Amino acid sequence: MAEIYPELSRTFSEYILIPNLTEKDHVSENVSLKTPVVKYKKGGESLLSLNIPFTSAIMQAVSNHTMAIALARSGGISFIFASQPIEKQVAMVRKVKYFKAGFVESDSNLRPDQTLHDVLALNKKTDHTTIAITEDGSPHGKLLGILTSRDYRINKCDLNTPVKDVMTPFPSLIYAEDGISLEEANDMIWKHKLNSLPVVNSDRCLLYLVFRKDYDEHMRNPLELVDKEKRLIVGAGINTRDYKERVPELVNAGADILCIDSSDGFSEWQHKTIAYVKETWNGEVKIGAGNVVEREGFNYLADAGADFIKIGIGGGAICITREQKGIGLGQATAVIEVAKARDEYFQKTGEYIPICSDGGIVHDNNILLALAMGADFVMMGRYFARFDESPGKKMKIKGNFVKEYWGEGTERARNWARYGYLKQGKLPFEEGVDAYVPYAGKLKDNIELTVSKIKATMCNCGALDIPELHRKARIALVSSLSMREGTVHDVIFKETDLSNLPT
């Protein structure tokens, strides 16, 4: 007969944190949410860490380049969705890597003989208003001038006017030479009140542009997650079908980390995919795997070489895998079980493999519970789908603003690579739904509120960082009556029409 687990399958909402002693230094300003993303040896450090323990789900409705930019600026990572053609995913990765680079390779360039018609077309294509004018119109051609929106007025200029007649010519430019540091470049920008500073070589060929806005944005985003070249960190989802074609392109585009997108990670397909990545790039390209819900799955992927492991099957807001297939495990139970396996693996091998709780987050306090139960970071879909930066359309329905949100297991997503195959051009059955989520505004505003709640609760738990939370957290199960007690109850809301109450 089947093996029957003795414990119930539980969700986050069935648990509550018990406070520990709050000491005088337990204030939010002292709390660090920095957490490792990739594995490391005992006594060492992870080569890649998050400044906040948030990643966005590998979903069409969640993680495109705009989400990746916004989340990296707040300290987290997006994994750009894989259910799209390779070239489109690569283009999204490139947009993130070049959004803020300190030294930026110009991707808006024209020749001096081109016209304002060409300028408007380029503006529309790139959304950039600073254009480098080079001899051959290439990013690294001989620099002849710079054109910005201040150099012309659309309603006053003839659109057939050559660029050379309106640009600021090179002799009038303030520029820097190759070898200047980013700090020195920013000092020049401030000294000369510039918006951008071109950097050229000895032949006057353009190398980079440095922008004032990059410095200003960094000051407003102190947790910004960047690489050694000051470019935003970005992840990319992959599948176990076309990985030999997809992964090299993503690596060349600058993806900092990969993650296999699958509803079930306990498979030989994932083992083969991890082996390919590790062998091809001698372990230098980092890759996460999953999803799993118990120790056997964790150990399998750990032995395969995964750099981090995702937890969760069927717990997503738009996921119906448990309904359709009767498979999965309550997210809280899954995290607890995999965290135990992670700790045992660490004791046995001296290798710490971070774990990510993916799914099951309904309220902000669920994030804290996932971390307290042992997760190093969380991956969320519904949470991020609500924001301006997500790909879904913003709509107004019955007087309320909403955003579209659909699962990777829907016919709309057509993510056959995640679920194995198509049947007569369609998924044989769906494991997700097409829905809406309440619109919530900008990512930055919402994530700051969530982070403030997490930090305050960690102080109540007597923890100033996530590893200390793992050690100190105390958690209790709650009854249905206890759940009711923890919400507003037995009062009359002020907006209630009192005339309708019984006497």
The residues annotated as belonging to the active site are: 319, 418
CA dihedral 490, 493, 494, 497 (to 10 degrees): -110
Beta strands 474-477 and 15-18, pairing class: antiparallel
CA 175 to CA 189: how far, in whole Å?
10
Yes or no: say if 435 and 381 are a contact pair by the CB < 8 Å rule.
Answer: no
Sheet of 196-200, strand order: 176-177, 196-200, 206-211
Encoded amino acid at 76, one letter: G
Distance of CA 352 to the CA centre of its chain: 22
Tokens of 124: 């529309």
Q: Which residues pair with 110 in a beta bridge?
A: 133
Yes or no: say if 330 and 307 are a contact pair by the CB < 8 Å rule.
Answer: no
Yes or no: say if 170 and 144 are a contact pair by the CB < 8 Å rule.
Answer: yes
Nearest to 188 by CA among 162, 206, 215: 215
Query: In sequence order, which residues have a C-beta less than 8 Å from that of residue 3 and are 6 or more positions away?
Result: none
Which single residue is written with the structure tokens 């372990």? 283
Yes or no: say if 60 and 406 are a contact pair by the CB < 8 Å rule.
Answer: yes
